[in-house]
């Protein structure tokens, strides 16, 4: 029996609930062939539209847009039937940047503002080189990307320059997002120098800086999980087979410049950067949090089924909290948990009898997910309000429905959840809309107590919290994945500048016990 150190809520689901029914948005790729990829389908917000990859037999896999509930082709990036395969989307300087293939089967970096006219090629990669993985946006230092051999930076989103050669931003198993992260206004990354039996930790903001070196005795060591914490960086170094000398979690303390192993922290099989400058790790059957590069580690969930969390922990961040899969995705009693980074803020939000899990999707303070998504199970769709962390069932597919019933949440628009599914094998995998029944998604994102109400007002590049009293107020700006972007300690009726160049953000103002949430798009 699993021992969850803080299990507050277990979801109890009735069997006689009445649900709104999912509606097919369109048979985008007419006939039984699907219009949405099973493996490349994530939606990305830009203003009030959602951009996502779509498929059609005439133009292949290209760039689509969901606007006011209608799915359309945004741009045929690779003209003709060949695939453009748009991927690696990131937000930088109020635009979506992404990677796509051109007619010469070479990779091109594009940007879009959500319109066809505003979707343009930015630059080609150096001749003969291919991108390793994602683009890496840093608000202060520029847009970074790496090939299999070199690191590059675009300071303006238009031109680029070489930063360092003989560096690979991947771990020995080629897992993405594992050996680099944003740090101190720029980026940090690990550089393997196996010929010298050392792992180098570097950073770049205005210039390159070697932060520290971790030595290891053989080339069979693995490294992963570079993550920022409150006072520096941490990563894991793991020995292969029985060679475990020097393995564990290492912390780089920025103030002292020291790089040492953290006490009582075993090597991590998986890691997750929490929105509060803390890191969640899984190793030796436990989930634990590290909030300082000097340690120690704090176990928040123990005795988890072994061998389940391989290099990425399925999760979503919202409202400064993280919802994550804290169990084997094929377990009979599937656990989903929420944490704000300590044992006291960790609880079980759902225990699900049916295995097979979808992705998580965050929108405002809500997180959506599904289980029973393949292998013939009946799929169920849930949401979690992070202010009241108990999973709520919003739809359960009935017995006998055709298709595999896969459910992959893609985005929320006008109060509806949009997801890809192959529930109907006559149309293939297409986009569906489901009325969530969540009032705050339909009417307002304000959730404050009774009494005179403050108003969060925006005017051009400035905002203020209008109120009848002069009171202290804290305002926080989050992106749509729930990551904290900036925070102000100010007063009511005082003007402050918005975060420039970040596009659509969620602003949360806290004055006394009152909390106001508004979305604002910087143009």
286-290, strands of its sheet edge to edge:
270-273, 279-283, 286-290, 297-301
Q: In CATH, what number is assigned to the domain containing residue 509? A: 2.60.40
CA 443 centroid distance within chain: 26
Tell whether 381 is covered by a domain: no
Final residue of a structural domain among 305, 329, 349: 349
pLDDT tens digits for range 344-366: 889 999 988 877 788 899 998 89
Q: Where are the alpha helices (DSSP H) in 369-431?
A: none
Q: Which of 214, 219, 217, 216 is nearest to 235 (CA)?
A: 214
**pLDDT band at residue 8, thresholds of 50, 70 and 90?**
very low
CA distance 420 to 431: 5
Instruction: Please compute the mean of the pLDDT values over residues 22-36 and round it to a whole number.
Output: 93
Tell whether 44 is covered by a domain: yes
Q: In CATH, what number is assigned to the domain containing residue 300? A: 2.130.10
Same domain, 343 and 489: no
Tell whether 403 is covered by a domain: no
Q: Which residues neighbour 116 within 8 Å (Cβ) at sequence distance 6 or greater?
A: 74, 75
Final residue of a structural domain among 329, 349, 369: 349
Nearest 10 degrees: CA dihedral of 86, 410, 352, 323?
90
Domains: count for the chain:
2
- In percent, the amount of the chain with pLDDT more than 90 equals 30
70 burial via Cβ count (<10 Å: 0-12, 13-18, 19+): exposed
Quick one: residue 386, left, alpha or beta (phi over 0 = left, psi -120 to 50 = alpha)?
alpha
pLDDT of residue 105: 58
Same domain, 161 and 286: yes
Residue 141 near residue 93, CB atoms below 8 Å: no
Same domain, 344 and 460: no
Tell whether 500 is covered by a domain: yes
- pLDDT at residue 399 greater than cutoff 80: no
Classified as helix, coil or strand, 169 is: coil
Average pLDDT, the chain: 82
CA distance 406 to 377: 9
pLDDT of residue 306: 55
Tell whether 13 is covered by a domain: no
pLDDT of residue 150: 83
Range of the domain at 475: 455-521
Same domain, 123 and 256: yes
Tell whether 276 is covered by a domain: yes
Q: What angle do CA 87, 92, 94 make, to 5 degrees?
A: 110
Q: Which residues neighbour 395 within 8 Å (Cβ) at sequence distance 6 or greater?
A: 19, 20, 21, 22, 380, 381, 434
CA distance 49 to 67: 5
Tell whether 392 is covered by a domain: no
Tell me which DSSP letter residue 439 carries. Answer: H
Same domain, 479 and 341: no
Same domain, 259 and 128: yes
Tell whether 245 is covered by a domain: yes
Sign (positive or negative) of CA dihedral 398, 399, 405, 407: positive
Question: What are the tokens at 350?
Answer: 């759902």
CA distance 477 to 517: 10
Comparing 464 with 332, which gets the higher pLDDT? 464
Same domain, 185 and 67: yes
């Amino acid at each position: 029996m699993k021992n969850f150190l803080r299990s507050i809520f277990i979801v109890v689901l009735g069997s006689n609930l009445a649900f709104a029914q999912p509606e097919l948005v369109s048979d985008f790729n007419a006939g039984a062939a699907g219009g949405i990829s099973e493996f490349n389908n994530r939606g990305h917000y830009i203003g009030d539209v959602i951009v996502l990859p779509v498929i059609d037999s005439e133009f292949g896999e290209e760039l689509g847009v969901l606007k006011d509930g209608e799915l359309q082709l945004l741009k045929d990036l690779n003209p003709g039937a060949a695939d453009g395969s748009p991927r690696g989307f990131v937000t930088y300087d109020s635009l979506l940047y992404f990677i796509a293939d051109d007619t010469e089967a070479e990779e091109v970096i594009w940007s879009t503002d959500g319109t066809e006219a505003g979707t343009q090629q930015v630059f080609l990669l150096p001749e003969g080189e291919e991108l390793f993985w994602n683009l890496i946006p840093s608000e202060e230092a520029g847009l970074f990307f790496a090939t299999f051999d070199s690191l590059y930076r675009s300071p303006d989103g238009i031109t680029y320059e070489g930063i360092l050669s003989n560096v690979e931003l991947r771990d020995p198993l080629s897992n993405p997002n594992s050996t680099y992260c944003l740090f101190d206004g720029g980026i940090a990354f690990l550089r393997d120098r196996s010929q010298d039996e050392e792992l180098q930790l570097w950073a770049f903001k205005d210039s390159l800086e070697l932060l520290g070196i971790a030595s290891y005795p053989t080339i069979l060591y693995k490294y992963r999980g570079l993550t920022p914490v409150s006072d520096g960086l941490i990563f894991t170094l793991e020995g292969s087979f029985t060679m475990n000398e020097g393995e564990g979690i290492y912390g780089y303390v920025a103030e002292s410049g020291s790089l040492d192993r953290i006490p009582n922290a075993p090597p991590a099989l998986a890691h997750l950067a929490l929105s509060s400058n803390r890191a969640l790790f899984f190793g030796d059957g436990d989930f634990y949090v590290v909030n300082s590069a000097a340690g120690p580690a704090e176990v928040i969930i123990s005795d988890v089924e072994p061998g389940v969390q391989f290099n990425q922990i399925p999760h979503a961040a919202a409202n400064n909290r993280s919802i994550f899969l804290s169990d084997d995705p094929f377990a009979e009693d599937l656990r989903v948990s929420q944490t704000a980074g300590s044992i006291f803020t960790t609880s079980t939000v759902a225990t699900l009898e049916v295995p097979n899990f979808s992705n998580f999707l965050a929108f405002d303070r809500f997180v959506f997910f599904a289980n029973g998504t393949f292998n013939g199970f009946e799929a169920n769709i849930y949401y979690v309000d992070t202010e009241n962390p108990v999973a709520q069932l919003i739809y359960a597919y009935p017995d006998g429905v055709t298709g595999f019933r896969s459910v992959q949440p893609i985005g929320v628009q006008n109060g509806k959840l949009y997801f890809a599914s192959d529930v109907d094998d006559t149309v293939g995998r297409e986009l569906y809309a489901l009325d969530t029944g969540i009032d705050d998604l339909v009417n307002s994102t304000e959730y404050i107590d009774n009494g005179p109400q403050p108003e969060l007002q925006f005017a051009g590049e400035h905002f203020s919290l209008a109120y009848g009293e002069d009171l202290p107020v804290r305002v926080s700006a989050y992106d749509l994945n729930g990551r904290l972007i900036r925070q102000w300690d100010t007063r009511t009726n005082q003007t402050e500048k918005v975060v420039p160049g970040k596009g659509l953000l969620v602003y949360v103002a806290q004055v006394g016990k009152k909390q106001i949430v508004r979305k604002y798009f910087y143009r």
